[in-house]
Chains A and B, each alone.
Chain A
Amino acid sequence: MADRRYTKSHEWIVVDGKTVTVGITDFAQSQLGDVVFLELPSPGRKLAEREAFGVVESVKAASDLYSPIAGKISAVNDRLSANPELVNSDPYGDGWILKVELAGELPSDLLDEAGYRKVTEAASH
């Protein structure tokens, strides 16, 4: 079971060999509120690190989704179109968003559990 890593923009990744699973964090989903829709790309698309690849929309607002890594999308969670609320109820499990085939190295500034907690504590003042 690989460790989760996080970005400052509230995405998470889990690495399994060359496959990286990407989602948004529990903190992000609680800030967003009930997710009603996700605008997502198709498998096969290449992403650059920090590239905006989609949108997550809640009742309150729409937020861009940024790719934590560079690579090629190998899978998109198609359960999210009928059940976008999975992002709220299970952000680290069934609410996963993309699977990406990693190109190159992982970014060096990904945060561990403790590092990300500092980010959310600062954000919640």
Chain B
Amino acid sequence: MVDFGGWELPQQYTSIRDEHMAVRKVAGLFDISHMGRVFVEGQGAEAALQSLFTNDLAPVAPGRAIYTLMCKDDGGVVDDLVIYREAADRFLIVLNASNREKDLAWIRHRLPDGLSMEDHTFDLSLIAFQGPRAHELLPVGSSETETIPYFGFRRGKVGRTDALISRTGYTGEDGFELFVESSVVGGVWDAILQRGKEAGVLPAGLGARDATRLEAALRLYGNDMDESVNPYEAGLGWTVKLDKGGDFIGREALVKVRQQGPARTLIGLKSQPGSIPRHGAAVSVDGRRVGAVTSGTHSFFLGYPIALALVEASQFRIGDKVIVEVRGVDAPAEVVKLPFYRGSARSAAVTTKS
């Protein structure tokens, strides 16, 4: 067990390798109840949230979710989060565990009077069932899920228990994030593992979670970005809707970044087995330091180490060779296309009509 943002979480239940493979081939079950869950409700909620977040909430219909960033005035990222619209004026926001208190204070400070904000992180649990076979391996009696659009959600049942079933995730695979009342989530956890045991479903910890999200090139706040990084540097310019109408915190600064181009970019690297680039490792070209690794791990699924690195925005092309510092020694690495791997989430997104 390790400390993750103030919560005690397992790195693995059995082995990172087995759990990683289970997620990619069958399905894995993650307890992600450490993430913050807060409801914002009231008249004018959409307008209030629009001014806090970079993405555009207007086209997000009830039953749909959207990934967005929350920025400071200078464009630096405060957090990345997913917003679920339950009704015209009611939103559920899921945010990073490590930023929970920061985000709650940030939002509370800026919400107009008349809007309520309720933190349900403790009484509502969140578990993620991710993998190409997640749909077919839900316990008997579960709601039908194939018609939930990708990044859509609905209230239903997992087995006999009420749940908010969201077709979202952090692994690059199809599957669900299940919001279940904390008093009954244990039964749901057991039921899913029981149902999927023969098929090879495994409970999966932080090690498998980090490896799968990195393969899918999903960013990890605190590693790949922090308040000193703007969305364009993090390769997340697509979440910034400068022309959504109305102002939002950071908009002015981000307009300038977009015009001038970001000073840094996030690139993907692969290296040889035995040379795992770790967070903070220097990246150099021709003896000159050009940046540093933000996230790196060994991918059991791909068979080699992979990493994201924040480097000077110059022309890094796919196939370019760089040097990464590994245990005090120069190790060769190659710039590769992102994502490192496309899982079943891709086909879920494509076959869903928005």
**Which A residues contact B (CB, under 8 angstroms)?**
33-34, 36-37, 39, 55, 57, 59-60, 62, 85, 88
Contacts and interface: CB of A to CB of B under 8 A. Distances in A.
Contact of A34 (B17, B276, B305, B327): B17
B274 A59 contact: no
Contacts of A55: 327
B33 interface: no
A55 B300 CA distance: 19
B44 interface: no
Contacts of B219: none
A80 to B, nearest CB: 11
B274 A39 contact: yes
A34 B207 CA distance: 10
A33 B274 CA distance: 15
Interface string B266-291: 00000001101000000000000000
A59 B327 contact: no
Contacts of A62: 276, 327
Given A33-B16, A34-B16, A36-B300, A57 B11 contact: no
B11 A33 contact: yes
B274 A57 contact: yes
Interface residues of B, number: 15
B10 to A, nearest CB: 11
B171 interface: no
A34 B15 contact: yes
Contact of A36 (B11, B276, B327): B276
B17 A85 contact: yes
A8 B300 CA distance: 30
A72 B305 CA distance: 33
A34 B273 CA distance: 14
B297 interface: yes
Contact of B16 (A37, A39, A57, A59): A59
A59 B206 CA distance: 12
Given A34-B300, A36-B298, A36-B300, A88 B15 contact: yes
A34 to B, nearest CB: 5
Interface in B38-87: none
B249 to A, nearest CB: 37
A59 B273 contact: no
B11 A60 contact: yes
B130 interface: no
A36 B296 CA distance: 14
Given A59-B16, A60-B11, A85-B17, A37 B274 contact: yes
Contacts of B15: 33-34, 88
B212 interface: no
Contacts of B17: 34, 85
Given A36-B276, A57-B274, 8 more contacts: A33-B11, A33-B16, A34-B12, A36-B273, A36-B274, A36-B298, A59-B207, A59-B276
A85 B297 CA distance: 16
Interface in B318-351: 327
A26 to B, nearest CB: 14
- In the complex, the 9 A-B pairs of residues with the closest C-beta atoms, listed nearest first: A37-B274, A36-B298, A34-B17, A34-B16, A37-B273, A34-B15, A59-B16, A59-B298, A59-B207
